Structure 1
Amino acid sequence: MRVLILGGTSEASTLVKRLDPRIDATLSLAGRTSAPKREPVRTRIGGFGGPEGLTAWIAENRIEAVIDATHPFAAQIGRNAALTCKRTGVALLAIRRPAWERRPGDLWTEVETMAEAALALGEMTRRVFLTIGRLEVGAFTTAPQHDYVVRSIEPIGDALPVPRLAEIAARGPFDEAAETAFLAERRIEILVTKNSGGPATYGKIAAARALGIPVVIVRPPRKPDVASVPDAEGALAWLERRLDC
């Protein structure tokens, strides 16, 4: 069975490592990192060119099923996959990890966008930890009065031209103990993050709770209503059922 896996997440990585040998898989990555982790399946890098390009690629490669294992905030590719599979009749399954839920002791301000997150920091100068990836840090140019610590896999370049900025290059996962030490060492006063769900980056949320640090957290975008499972194990079971049909 020929399968396209739209990846870039820990779930996609787990999935491709455990595929049945009868599955001929292609893993597609958006290309937002210059040195993605090597995976044990055929890998393509870059976009498809919208729904039309994705439709053409699926037809050319005789794809029989698509797994959307993209990041919870990768809304566009999810919409493209849903539209393409509806048009072509190709089976589609999405891996939708549950969002984090507020727990006792969490000091959350929930917002819809990065622009709202920047406003939520307030006027008073604060030491801010941005852990949102590099593509949206520019939203915080509207709040240049703060001291920013930005952690990202890739350099952010000149995307955040503010007077006080420290960059940390790192790739997760990050556990709670490491995050607690990091927040304390950097004297972080407020954390900005996306509600990405899953265990890989939850350590910062638990650390902020333990240290009493407030969190501005961006809600995930709405995704298309398609068949879904919460994890890689569910996707593996779905594929196995299709193999046995």
Structure 2
Amino acid sequence: MHVLILGGTSEARRLAEILAAQAPDLTVTSSLAGRVTAPRLPPGEVRIGGFGGAGGLADWLGAHHVDALIDATHPFAATISFNAAEAAATAHVPLLALRRPGWVAGDGDVWHEAGSLEEAAALLPALGRRVFLTTGRMGLAAFAALADLWFLVRSVDAPEPPWPPRMEVLLDRGPFTLDGERELLRRHRIDVVVTKDSGGAATAPKLTAAREAGVSVVVVRRPPVPVGVPEATGPGQAARWLGTLLELGVFLDSD
């Protein structure tokens, strides 16, 4: 049997690890978008690059005899999620969305919600002057006109222009520690953080550090997702769904 994981997230890698350990006879292909120069590769087969839209993905599912499709892409990879839903329906392949829960504000958090990067940029002048921008290397153009603000931009790979004129780039990859995030905010005198609601534990310490320091956080809301697609909130739950679907009799104790 053949499973295709649309990946690029830590949950996708963990799911591939579970499948490799507990179902070695199962063919698992992980598909990565190719936006990161040196991605962390999961076990099993790996393909890099797009499919050419929903039609191309449907063709790939049929040509490679895929029995199940799992969308474990980043919460902000909206296009591929809609393509996956359309392709799965076209190819009559069962689809599961593996979506990590979003972050929830707690006592002491000073959060401001935005519907897009452009909305986030519009909020910044009233919130602070030194910005910790953690939305990745894409989309810096939304902040390029804010010449009076200083930005610390953290991303895995180097960003491309246009970008804010006053900017320092920090190339780093999570998971990040709370002590490290505290020191980063202190050293750079950050007074506002911008993040996407990516969820997960790997990058959450910045939110705790911001709360402790009384720093405002602009949180960009997640884009819409296809309706009617069954969801799992973790790799273990996704593995159990797959085990039941394919009658593999494994994955019952996965976490």
Q: Deviations over 1:47-84 (max 9, x none)?
A: 10001110111111111100000000000000000011
Q: Give the Å deviation of 1:157.
A: 3.0
**What is the match of residue 171 of structure 2?**
169
**What is the match of residue 63 of structure 1?**
66
**What is the match of residue 210 of structure 1?**
212
**What is the match of residue 186 of structure 1?**
188
CA RMSD, aligned part only? 1.3
Q: Structure 1: which 5+ runs fail to align?
A: none
**What is the match of residue 237 of structure 2?**
234
Q: Does the 8 A contact of 2:76 with 2:222 survive in 1?
A: yes
Q: Give the Å deviation of 1:194.
A: 0.4
| Partner amino acid, structure 2, of 1:171 | R
Q: Does the 8 A contact of 2:30 with 2:45 survive in 1?
A: yes
| Inter-partner Cα distance in structure 1 for 2:60 and 2:75 | 23
| Partner amino acid, structure 1, of 2:185 | L
Q: Give the Å deviation of 1:185.
A: 1.2
The alignment partner of 1:94 has SS state of strand
Q: Does the 8 A contact of 2:133 with 2:194 survive in 1?
A: yes
Determine which of 58, 73, 97 is the counterpart of 2:100: 97
| Inter-partner Cα distance in structure 1 for 2:51 and 2:75 | 19
| Inter-partner Cα distance in structure 2 for 1:210 and 1:124 | 17
Determine which of 56, 61, 67 is the counterpart of 1:53: 56
Q: Give the Å deviation of 1:96.
A: 1.3
1:72-111 map, 5 Å: 72-111=75-114
Q: Give the Å deviation of 1:158.
A: 2.5
| Inter-partner Cα distance in structure 2 for 1:52 and 1:124 | 44
| Partner amino acid, structure 2, of 1:90 | V
**What is the match of residue 251 of structure 2?**
none
Q: Deviations over 1:166-191 (max 9, x none)?
A: 00000111122211111111111100
Q: Give the Å deviation of 1:22.
A: 2.8
Structure 2 residue 169 is matched with structure 1 residue 201: no
The alignment partner of 1:120 has SS state of helix
Percent identity reads 45
Q: Does the 8 A contact of 1:125 with 1:147 survive in 2?
A: no
| Inter-partner Cα distance in structure 2 for 1:160 and 1:147 | 11
Q: Does the 8 A contact of 2:140 with 2:164 survive in 1?
A: no
Q: Does the 8 A contact of 1:14 with 1:232 survive in 2?
A: yes
| Inter-partner Cα distance in structure 2 for 1:129 and 1:98 | 23
**What is the match of residue 157 of structure 1?**
160
Number of positions where the alignment pairs a residue of Structure 1 with one of Structure 2: 244
Q: Give the Å deviation of 1:89.
A: 1.2
Q: 1:7 to 1:115 in 2, by over 3 A?
A: same
| Inter-partner Cα distance in structure 1 for 2:153 and 2:223 | 22
Deviates more, 1:19-28 or 1:153-162: 153-162
| Inter-partner Cα distance in structure 2 for 1:118 and 1:124 | 10
Q: Deviations over 1:100-144 (max 9, x none)?
A: 111010000001000000000026860101000111111101222
Q: Structure 2: which 5+ runs fail to align?
A: 249-255
| Inter-partner Cα distance in structure 1 for 2:180 and 2:128 | 26
| Inter-partner Cα distance in structure 2 for 1:242 and 1:109 | 41
**What is the match of residue 122 of structure 2?**
119
